[in-house]
């Protein structure tokens, strides 16, 4: 008789333990899911704060490079901010090169290095790319960019149409498509 009641009580205790573990796993899953979601939302909020404001004219429609003025008005442009030692920047080089060939937009590369390093980086991208050697990160600060690779697409009127990081062919292509679209200026 004793062994039979022991079996019943141990069976009940086992199911109580299973129920408690189920509740604990559910609560942990919910907690970490909320943490992950909040982290993603915070990362998106930080990215939204970076770069020039969307749908507004860029305040730097005239860029001076090596004592030459370069206009961001007249055709769309993609501005790529990059840095040496950035593995994502190196990975995105061939993608930018291939995608830029199929779009009639200007490509500006702001590279956080001296002129020789910036020229070497841009040669892989496109011979038509305009290179900005930005060793002190002044140009990136002026455009409020703190991460690399970071893209900014402007339309032919100098309005920012898209901004943010990109690492895949589709993401990079979206920047070039946004730059190729001509839209009315924001009023």
pLDDT tens profile 15-53: 999 999 998 888 877 777 666 666 555 655 666 677 787
Comparing C-alpha atoms, which of 160, 162, 161, 149 is closest to residue 61?
Answer: 160
Return the pLDDT at 52: 82
How long a stretch of residues is the chain?
187
Dist CA 77 CA 80 (whole Å): 10
Tens of each residue's pLDDT in the chain, 187 residues: 556 787 888 889 999 999 999 988 888 777 776 666 665 556 556 666 777 877 777 765 556 555 555 666 778 889 999 888 888 888 998 999 899 888 888 888 888 888 788 778 777 777 778 888 888 888 888 888 888 889 999 888 888 899 988 889 999 999 999 998 865 444 4
C-beta of residue 62 within 8 angstroms of C-beta of residue 73: no
Comparing C-alpha atoms, which of 29, 161, 50, 151 is closest to residue 100?
Answer: 151
Comparing C-alpha atoms, which of 118, 75, 114, 76 is closest to residue 93?
Answer: 118
The contacts found for 162-171 with CB under 8 angstroms, 24 or more apart, are 162/54, 163/50, 163/51, 163/52, 163/54, 164/47, 164/50, 164/51, 165/47, 165/88, 166/92, 167/88, 167/91, 167/92, 167/95, 168/95, 169/95, 169/98, 169/99
- Phi (first) and psi of residue 185, to 5 degrees: -65, 150
Token couple for 186: 């924001």
Convert the pLDDT of each residue in 161-171 to its tens digit. 999 888 899 99
Q: What is the pTM of this model?
A: 0.69
Return the pLDDT at 186: 45
3 state DSSP class of 144: coil
Q: Does domain 62-180 have CATH number 3.40.30.10?
A: yes
Kindly state the percentage of the chain with pLDDT values over 90.
Answer: 16
Token couple for 99: 């995608």
């Amino acid at each position: 008789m004793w062994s039979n009641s022991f079996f019943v009580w141990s069976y009940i205790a086992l199911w109580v333990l299973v129920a408690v573990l189920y509740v604990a796993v559910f609560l942990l899953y919910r907690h970490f899911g909320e943490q992950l979601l909040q982290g993603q939302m915070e990362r998106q909020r930080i990215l939204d704060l970076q770069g020039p404001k969307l749908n507004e004219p860029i305040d730097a429609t005239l860029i001076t490079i090596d004592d030459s003025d370069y206009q961001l008005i007249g055709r769309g442009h993609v501005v790529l901010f990059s840095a040496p030692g950035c593995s994502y920047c190196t990975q995105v080089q061939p993608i930018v090169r291939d995608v830029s060939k199929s779009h009639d937009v200007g490509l500006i590369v702001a590279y956080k290095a001296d002129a020789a390093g910036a020229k070497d980086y841009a040669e892989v991208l496109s011979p038509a790319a305009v290179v900005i050697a930005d060793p002190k990160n002044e140009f990136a600060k002026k455009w409020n960019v703190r991460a690399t690779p970071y893209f900014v697409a402007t339309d032919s009127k100098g309005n920012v149409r898209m901004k943010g990081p990109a690492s895949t062919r589709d993401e990079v292509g979206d920047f070039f498509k946004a730059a190729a679209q001509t839209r009315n200026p924001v009023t």
